[in-house]
Amino acid sequence: MLAERYRLEAPLGRGGMGQVYRAHDELLHRSLAVKILPFAASDEVARERFRVEARAAARVEDPHAVTIYDYEVDGDAAYLIMELVDGPDLGEELAAHGPMDPARVLGIGAQVAGGLAAAHLHGVVHRDIKPSNLLLAEDGTVKIADFGIARLLDESAVPLTLTGQVLGTSLYLAPERARGQAAGPASDVYALGCVLYELLTGRPPFDEHSAVAALRRHVETPPVPPSALRPGTPPGVERCLLAMLAKDPEQRPPAAQAASWCASAALAAAPPAAVRTVPEPMPVREKAAARPHWWTSARRRARAVVERPVPAVPR
């Protein structure tokens, strides 16, 4: 029992900073997730890193980001109390079912990019977007988890990254980060582009056994067009992914714009039966409920995440 309130039930996995458990809130009688970071009492760097994670994650309020409820320090451990997402991560979903259809991939992209746009609005860069950090809820909603190495752009905190140390996963690391430069919002967009590429084709854009080789290719090698690996990929889907994978961060769309592009490309790529208007006298409400969740989320994102006009998907 933590803080005489949170009862740990079962381990869910280990993130970048600690162990995650399924837990029960004995006060509010609800299930949630608890992330625990053990550290020595004298380990001020670990304590500071955990504090930054809590503050960063708590500032992000979006349907596509895991909600942080509380932060506590108890003895020699600190822990985050978080929303519980009952479902696999996108890596597990891909391993179980294989590559996804283009419309679903871009529907996921619209959700995640919208969540990133909310984070970037508060100066928070995730820095570690990858399939295992994107959780799939039972209703199809995708939620961004583990802001474990996020850093507030507007906070001059204790340096948390060792000189020369590259945080993140090499398969999804933006070229500027591979060159040792600081992460920015565009780095998250690139990483998301890598994830979407993998969901569509079944492999990351630069699938190397050596981290060094993967980093070099991120910097030097253009990605193979998705249509070469998955014939029949709609041109709008391919243009959207390649724009997110631009080597120059200035050439990538901001996250809000990427969300709009993904939503538009998802709707354009969807089978007609998924998006057509059901004619009368069919019961429209019941039929609408049967639409795939990515369609609803993509349409919602197309309306909500972009508050000003943005350029069309690049041609």
Q: What is the DSSP string of 202-248?
A: SS-SS--SSHHHHHHHHHH-PPPPHHHHSTT--HHHHHHHHHHT-SS
E strand spans, the chain:
6-14, 19-25, 30-38, 68-74, 77-82, 124-125, 134-136, 142-144, 151-152
Closest of 152, 148, 89 to residue 119, by C-alpha: 152
**Under 8 Å between Cβ of 286 and 240:** no
Would residue 128 show up in a list of annotated catalytic residues for this protein? Answer: yes
Q: Is the dihedral of CA 295, 300, 305, 309 positive or negative?
A: positive
Burial class (CB in 10 A: 0-12, 13-18, 19+), 309: exposed
CA 207, CA 214: separation in Å to the nearest integer?
A: 7
CA 65, CA 141: separation in Å to the nearest integer?
A: 10
Query: Which residues make beta-bridge pairs with 152?
Result: 124
One of 62, 89, 128, 146 is an active-site residue; which one?
A: 128
**Under 8 Å between Cβ of 301 and 293:** no
Active-site amino acid positions: 128
